[in-house]
Structure 1
């Protein structure tokens, strides 16, 4: 008998943890409220408030988990391998960034700090990988809509 995937739990837990991080940051580090994430892509310079970015990612994770949860409640079966790859890349990529970013900023050379940041490089490398994982999510949702979950009952054989 095949196990039903509960991938939605990964995304709900990640969304709750991100929300908790945002609240704890507001309570215990109020001086970081005005921090922003800035990224230069070609001739465009993007500046995003860090709190807004965390709230947006929390909402996206909640919506991703909601898609898997709806399939679970409708007794539809997404591909478990695609679900695991999507969850690993999306949730694991965020966890990797949250752990590696402080380490990268700690070891970064001060001579390049105004021009080049290691944490930005990490994010630029993770964004395409996470974007590809979202394509897997869409494919997996379509697979899940078309594949019902059948629970096989064993037939009693009479002798």
Structure 2
């Protein structure tokens, strides 16, 4: 675990093939969500490619900072990794809890609200990455 906090690019880069395989085996062709009067539909393979590209960029940022001998905060690394992977895992678990009975609309609405709040937290949690990078760039280099 300590190695993953010191080298967070490892977890991001190793998760790319896993996410790609999961995307390949998912039966859904599209992912849709409603924002006010607009219904957005995204193909599942496009969403998988977008997440993979995001993980490549994040992993590359962490890797470049390590090669430049810049120290990143272990706590910010841990928070970023936990929010990213923990939030995505919780959302995947919660999406399996939807009920199909017509009388369960309140449950589904509360579940949708919970998933939305978790996804917003995950998205805002991605702001920790540039904050950590900027902090690492501003912080003085250790004396050799």
Same-fold status (TM-score > 0.5): yes
Q: CA contact under 8 A between 1:86 and 1:133: conserved in structure 2?
A: yes
Instruction: Report the Cα offset of residue 57 of structure 1.
Output: 0.9
Structure 1: 5+ residue stretches without partners: 153-159
Q: Alpha carbons of 1:36 and 1:6: their partners in 2 closer, same or farther (altered >3 Å)? A: same
- Partner residue, 1:156: none
Distance 1:51 1:121, change over 3 A: farther
Q: By how many angstroms is 1:122 displaced?
A: 4.4
Q: Partners of 1:83 and 1:10 in 2: how far apart?
A: 11
Pick from 104, 121, 135 the counterpart of residue 127 of structure 2: 135
1:60 Cα deviation after fit: 0.7
* Alignment gaps of 5+ in structure 2: none
TM-score normalized by the length of structure 1: 0.74
SS of aligned partner of 1:64: helix
Distance 1:112 1:15, change over 3 A: farther
The 5-angstrom pairing of residues 60-79 of structure 1 reads: 60-79=54-73
Change beyond 3 A, Cα 1:71–1:9: same
Q: Which residue of 2 aligns with 1:100?
A: 94
Of 43, 49, 56, 2:37 maps to: 43
Q: 1:79 to 1:43 in 2, by over 3 A?
A: same
TM normalised by structure 2 equals 0.81
Rg (Cα) greater in structure:
1
Is 1:147 paired with 2:117? Answer: no
- Which runs of structure 1 show a deviation greater than 3 angstroms over 4 or more consecutive aligned residues? 116-123, 148-152
Q: Say what the alpha-carbon RMSD is for the aligned residues.
A: 2.7
How many Å separate the matches in 1 of 2:86 and 2:141? 27
